[in-house]
Amino acid sequence: MKKIVVILLVLIAISCDDGNFDIPEFNFTDESIDNCGDLVLYKINNIESLVLELNQDNTDDSFFTEIKENKTYTLSEGGTNSITYRTFDTEPTNNYFCQNIPPTTPLVINEWLGSGTLKVTTFLESEDDNDTVEETNLEENSDLDDFPNYIDSDDDNDGILTKNEDPDNDGDPTNDDTDNDGISNYLDDDDDGDGTPTIKESIVEDSDNDGILDYLDDDTKEELPEDRPAIVNSYLKTYKNTFVIESLKLTNTNENTIQYDTYDFGEKSKIVTETDVNG
Worst-scoring range by mean pLDDT, 70-79, 95-104, 117-126, 153-162? Answer: 95-104
Confidence of residue 57 (pLDDT cuts 50, 70, 90): low
Question: Quick check: helix, strand or coil at residue 162?
Answer: helix
Confidence of residue 23 (pLDDT cuts 50, 70, 90): low
pLDDT tens readout for residues 229-267: 878 999 999 999 999 999 999 999 888 999 999 999 999
Of residues 228 and 1, more confidence is placed in 228
**Whole-number pLDDT of residue 178:** 97
Pairing between strand 108-128 and 34-36? unpaired
b (16+ CB within 10 A) / e for 30-66: ebebbbeebeebbbbbebbbbbbbbeeeebeeebbbe
Question: Quick check: helix, strand or coil at residue 32?
Answer: coil
pLDDT at position 5 over 50: no
DSSP string for residues in 55-104: -GGG--TTTTTS-EEEEEEEE-TTSSSEEEEEEESSPPPGGGGGSSS--S
pLDDT tens readout for residues 175-186: 999 999 999 999
Provide the 10 A C-beta neighbour count for residue 270: 16
**Whole-number pLDDT of residue 60:** 56
Measured CA to CA, the distance from residue 255 to residue 245 in angstroms comes to: 21
**Whole-number pLDDT of residue 255:** 87
Mean pLDDT of 49-64: 76
Measured CA to CA, the distance from residue 151 to residue 129 in angstroms comes to: 5
Confidence of residue 14 (pLDDT cuts 50, 70, 90): very low
Confidence of residue 78 (pLDDT cuts 50, 70, 90): confident
Confidence of residue 25 (pLDDT cuts 50, 70, 90): confident
Q: Reduce the secondary structure of 205-257 to three states and give it as a string.
A: CCCCCCCCCHHHCCCCCCCCCCCCCCCEEEEEEEEEEEEEEEEEEEECCCCCE
Measured CA to CA, the distance from residue 138 to residue 236 in angstroms comes to: 15
Question: Quick check: helix, strand or coil at residue 173?
Answer: helix
- The secondary element (H helix, E strand) that includes residue 132 is none
Confidence of residue 59 (pLDDT cuts 50, 70, 90): low
- The secondary element (H helix, E strand) that includes residue 112 is strand 108-128
Question: Quick check: helix, strand or coil at residue 25?
Answer: coil
pLDDT tens readout for residues 258-279: 999 999 999 999 999 999 865 5
Amino acid at residue number 102: P
Name the residue among 57, 58, 41 with its Cα closest to residue 49: 41
Q: Dihedral (C-alpha) 94, 100, 103, 107: value to the nearest 10 degrees? A: 80
